[in-house]
A = this chain, B = another copy of it.
Amino acid sequence: MDKEQLIRLVVEKIQEKLASNPPCIPASPSYPVSIGISNRHVHLSQAHVEVLFGPGYQLTPVKELQPGQFAAAETLTLVGPKGSLAKVRVLGPARRLTQVEISRTDGFTLGVFPPVRDSGFLQGTPGLVLVGPAGCLKITEGVICAARHIHFHPADAERMGIRDGDRLAVKIQGDRALVFDNVLARVNENYRLEMHIDTDEANAAGVRNGDTGILLLRQEGS
Q: How many copies does the complex hold?
A: 2
Q: Which residue of B lies closest to A104 (CB)?
A: B203
Complex Cα spacing A197 to B204, Å? 9
Complex Cα spacing A177 to B1, Å? 45
**A106 → B minimal CB distance (Å):** 10
Stretch binding the partner chain, chosen from A23-31, A72-80, A89-97, A132-140: A23-31
- A201 located at the interface, meaning its Cβ lies under 8 Å from any Cβ of chain B in the complex: yes
Stretch binding the partner chain, chosen from A13-21, A41-49, A57-65: A13-21
Q: Which residue of B lies closest to A171 (CB)?
A: B181
**A6 → B minimal CB distance (Å):** 7
Q: Which residue of B lies closest to A200 (CB)?
A: B203
Query: What 0/1 readout, one digit per residue, does chain A (148-169) give for beta carbons within 8 Å of chain B?
Result: 1000000000000000000001
Residue pair A178, B176 in contact (C-beta under 8 Å): no
Binding site for B on A (CB under 8 A): 1, 3, 6-7, 9-11, 13-15, 17-19, 21-28, 103-105, 115-116, 147-148, 169, 175-182, 197-201, 203-206, 218, 220-222
Q: Nearest 4 CB-CB pairs, A to B?
A: A204-B204, A104-B203, A200-B203, A177-B181
